[in-house]
Amino acid sequence: MPPAEARSEDAPLRILVVDADDRVRESLTGLLAIGERVVIVGSSGHAGTALALATEHRPDVVIVDPRLPDLDGGLTFIAGLQECCPETRILAMSWSDALERRALDGGAHGFVRKTFRPTELIAAILAAGRPADA
C-alpha cells in the first residue's frame, strides 16, 4: 500500500467511526460533522468492512468500540488496523471502564468513555490524531 499523503496542520483530521450500534455511529458522525476540525471518511458496524474502509481511505483517526461482535471483537480489529494502516491513530471508545487498559495495551492511542461531553470527544480525537513525536 502507498504511504498516506502528508497532511497540513490546518487540514481537518479524517475520521472513520467503527461501532456495532447504529445509533452511536449516527450520533458520532452527526456530531463530528458540525465542526471544521474533522471530516468523516466512513463508518461501519463490522470489523471486516471497517478494515477495508481504513485500507481504502487511510483515515488519520479511527474511533472504535473494543466490543465489536466480529473478528473476535474490537481488540482484534485494533491489531489488524495497526498491521494494515500503521500510520492511523486509534481512539477506543466504550461504556466500560474495564476496557480502557485492555484497549490501550492492545494498541489504541487513546480512550474515551461513551459518557463524553462533545468537547471531551473533540479533545480526545485531536490528542489521538497527534503523532507521538509531535
**Is residue 1 in a domain?**
no
Write out the H or E segment, with its range, that includes residue 15: strand 13-18
Pairing of strands 89-94, 110-113: parallel
Residue 75 domain boundaries: 13-129
Amino acid at 77: F
33-85 pLDDT, tens digit per residue, is 887 888 999 999 998 899 999 999 999 999 999 888 765 667 888 989 999 99
Q: What is the pLDDT of residue 133?
A: 54
Any idea what the CATH number is for the domain that residue 64 is in? 3.40.50.2300
Give how many domains the chain has, as a whole number: 1
**Is residue 98 in a domain?**
yes
**Is residue 59 in a domain?**
yes
> What dihedral do alpha carbons 63, 68, 72, 76 form, nearest 10°?
10
3-state secondary structure 53-98: HHHHHCCCEEEECCCCCCCCCHHHHHHHHHHHCCCCEEEEEECCCH
Cα–Cα distance between 32 and 1 in angstroms, integer? 28
**Is residue 4 in a domain?**
no
79-132 pLDDT, tens digit per residue, is 899 999 999 999 999 888 788 888 888 899 999 998 888 888 888 998 888 765
70 near 44, Cβ under 8 Å? no
**Is residue 46 in a domain?**
yes
**Is residue 8 in a domain?**
no
